[in-house]
Amino acid sequence: MYKRLSAILFPIATVLLIGAIVWGYQENQEKNAILIKAENQYQRAFHDLSYHVDRLHSELGNTLAVHSASTGSHRKGLVNVWRITSEAQNEINQLPLTMLPFNKTEEFLSRIAKFSYQTAVRDLTKQPLSDSEVKNLKELYKSSAEISKDLQAVQDKVISNRLRWMDVETALASQDEPKDNTIIDGFKTVDKKVGEYPELDWGPSVSSMYNRRSVKKLGGTPVTLDTIKDKAAKFLGNSATGDIKVTENGKGTEWASFTAQVQGANNEVTTLDFTKNGGQLIAYSNNRTIGPKAVSYEQARAKASAFLEDKGYSDMTPVAYDEFDNTSTFTFVTKLNDVLIYPEKITVRVGLDTGDVTGIQASDYVYERENRQPVGEPKLTLEEARKFLNSDYKVKYHRLALIENEMYEKVLTYEFGGAINGSDFKIFINAESGVEETIEEIQSQKQGARS
């Protein structure tokens, strides 16, 4: 009996063993194939990065070599600098450097890209390179040579020692401090040197990108916790302040603020954020569960408008709308003397089950309103501005709007909403020069709806 049973089970066990071996071999092969593919992608991105930084150095040299009056060559060179720098940034993003301090180099490349782009897109025949900008290019030429040299040194070691980027990823993911890794040490050296470069005058448009708003730039005197409790209670329509808990954030820093919290029924939490200077509300959020949709777009919009009016945000006009997961989000901007002030915006979140407002974001409104500058009058008439539109563009509405353009300048424009080639667009025409400052495709008809 045992012999008969063994005769049956032994072949089965053998087949299963062979199958397990084959399966394990295939799994190992697939795993190795994935690792090889990832390693090849890392190697390609790294060698492309080294190449493009070297090309960046060469292109900066070419731009500096031409005559100061060669505006066409300057424009071409700066466009190439922008393109090459953008490619280098993309290659950095493909490398496993998320846990490695390389932010100084990334920011350095980002500033070069923005500086070269904004300089290239302006009319260099009317506004040629300034002495400060030429000085910047000379410093960038010198700095890019050093970065290129250091990256090539790492590249030589990678090639000669057959180093693997997968080992870098493993070392960075390790809980222990990575030791003796040539690639990691090389990138740390590059980033340290970049951090020691002299600070350049990038101009106000580029610097504004990296000059984050500080509450210290706001007017008003610092407020107390009790003042925040009173403000939170008033906003919520609650006379009692005992249930409101207030905490101070970033004490002693430029980002000091207050957060007020109220615990409601069904574990609902309402949160309000205030600036420390002046105690201005910058955010409100209620985390209640949103039920099935029962409110229309028109009803939600009316609720959002009434809420802002009730809370003291007057003269606000909705300019954009989005809807997701039974929640609608409206963007409102200030309307001043029939001019829409786009930088002064508030986003309002409405639950489409009841139409109640569940949150607002007002930080842009707070900061921009305090630093508002005179709007001025348009130099072009409406009909003159229309002449700068595509002849096939069908205008549905028009209005004056103050926007912030890609040079981070606030400009008065004519906003034209309309359609062309089967799609809806907003086109903003500079009210002084007729330049098309920006064009936005309208994803929903409701986004272009006027008040």
Which of 339, 370, 401 corresponds to the end of one domain?
370
Tell whether the model's pLDDT for residue 49 goes beyond 50: yes
Assess whether 202 and 246 both reside in one domain.
no
Q: What is the CATH number of the domain that holds 415?
A: 3.10.450
Q: State the pairing for strand pair 357-361/394-404.
A: unpaired
The whole-number average pLDDT for the span 125-132 is 84
Identify the CA nearest to 378 among candidates 322, 432, 299. 432
Asked if residue 8 is part of any domain, the answer here is yes
Total count of domains within the chain: 3
Structure confidence at residue 43 (pLDDT): 82
Structure confidence at residue 202 (pLDDT): 62
Identify the CA nearest to 183 among candidates 86, 88, 96. 96
Beta strands in 375-431 (DSSP E): 394-404, 410-420, 423-430
Percent of the chain predicted with pLDDT > 90: 31
Structure confidence at residue 445 (pLDDT): 44
Cα–Cα distance, 373 to 126 (Å, whole number): 26
Q: For residues 218 and 275, is the Cβ–Cβ distance under 8 A?
A: yes
Asked if residue 375 is part of any domain, the answer here is no
Q: Amino acid identity of 416?
A: F
Assess whether 128 and 246 both reside in one domain.
no
Cα–Cα distance, 366 to 360 (Å, whole number): 12
Assess whether 53 and 151 both reside in one domain.
yes
Question: Which of 38-52, 211-225, 389-403 comes out lowest in average pLDDT?
Answer: 211-225
Higher pLDDT, 227 or 181: 227
> What tokens does 447 get?
């986004």
Q: For residues 319 and 331, is the Cβ–Cβ distance under 8 A?
A: yes
Assess whether 387 and 317 both reside in one domain.
no
Assess whether 61 and 30 both reside in one domain.
yes
Identify the CA nearest to 88 among candidates 61, 54, 122, 63. 54
Structure confidence at residue 399 (pLDDT): 95
Per-residue pLDDT band for 270 (boundaries 50, 70, 90) equals very high
Structure confidence at residue 159 (pLDDT): 80
Higher pLDDT, 260 or 201: 260
Left, alpha or beta for 180 (phi > 0: left; psi -120 to 50: alpha)? left
The whole-number average pLDDT for the span 443-448 is 51
Sequence-ordered list of residues with C-beta below 8 angstroms from that of 158, at least 6 positions apart, any chain: 43, 46, 182, 183
Per-residue pLDDT band for 182 (boundaries 50, 70, 90) equals confident
Asked if residue 55 is part of any domain, the answer here is yes
Identify the CA nearest to 432 among candidates 406, 407, 405, 414. 414
Radius of gyration of the chain (CA): 30
Structure confidence at residue 447 (pLDDT): 46
What is the sign of the dihedral through the CA atoms of 67, 70, 71 and 77?
negative
Assess whether 192 and 277 both reside in one domain.
no
Q: Which domain holds residue 413?
A: 382-446
The whole-number average pLDDT for the span 426-432 is 94
In tens, the pLDDT along 367-416 reads: 888 878 888 899 999 999 999 999 999 999 999 999 988 777 889 999 99
Assess whether 434 and 301 both reside in one domain.
no
Asked if residue 123 is part of any domain, the answer here is yes
In tens, the pLDDT along 286-327 reads: 988 899 999 999 999 999 999 999 999 989 999 999 888 899
Structure confidence at residue 394 (pLDDT): 94
Asked if residue 387 is part of any domain, the answer here is yes
Residue 106, φ and ψ in degrees, nearest 5: -60, -45
Assess whether 357 and 436 both reside in one domain.
no
Tell whether the model's pLDDT for residue 362 goes beyond 70: yes
Which of 370, 398, 425 corresponds to the end of one domain?
370
The whole-number average pLDDT for the span 211-231 is 74
Assess whether 154 and 231 both reside in one domain.
no
Structure confidence at residue 12 (pLDDT): 64
Q: For residues 54 and 152, is the Cβ–Cβ distance under 8 A?
A: yes
Tell whether the model's pLDDT for residue 226 goes beyond 80: yes
Asked if residue 133 is part of any domain, the answer here is yes
List alpha helices for 334-397, DSSP H: 363-370, 382-386
Which of 182, 210, 238 corresponds to the end of one domain?
210
Tell whether the model's pLDDT for residue 359 goes beyond 90: yes
Cα–Cα distance, 435 to 387 (Å, whole number): 11
Structure confidence at residue 118 (pLDDT): 82
The whole-number average pLDDT for the span 243-249 is 88
Residue 333, φ and ψ in degrees, nearest 5: -130, 160
> What tokens does 169 get?
């990823």
Residue 449, φ and ψ in degrees, nearest 5: -70, 135
Cα–Cα distance, 128 to 219 (Å, whole number): 38
Structure confidence at residue 449 (pLDDT): 45
Average pLDDT, rounded, for the chain = 82
Left, alpha or beta for 66 (phi > 0: left; psi -120 to 50: alpha)? beta
Assess whether 162 and 259 both reside in one domain.
no
The whole-number average pLDDT for the span 35-50 is 80
Asked if residue 218 is part of any domain, the answer here is no
Assess whether 188 and 77 both reside in one domain.
yes
Asked if residue 215 is part of any domain, the answer here is no
Q: For residues 274 and 281, is the Cβ–Cβ distance under 8 A?
A: yes
Tell whether the model's pLDDT for residue 332 goes beyond 90: yes
Tell whether the model's pLDDT for residue 181 goes beyond 80: no
Higher pLDDT, 14 or 358: 358
Assess whether 72 and 108 both reside in one domain.
yes
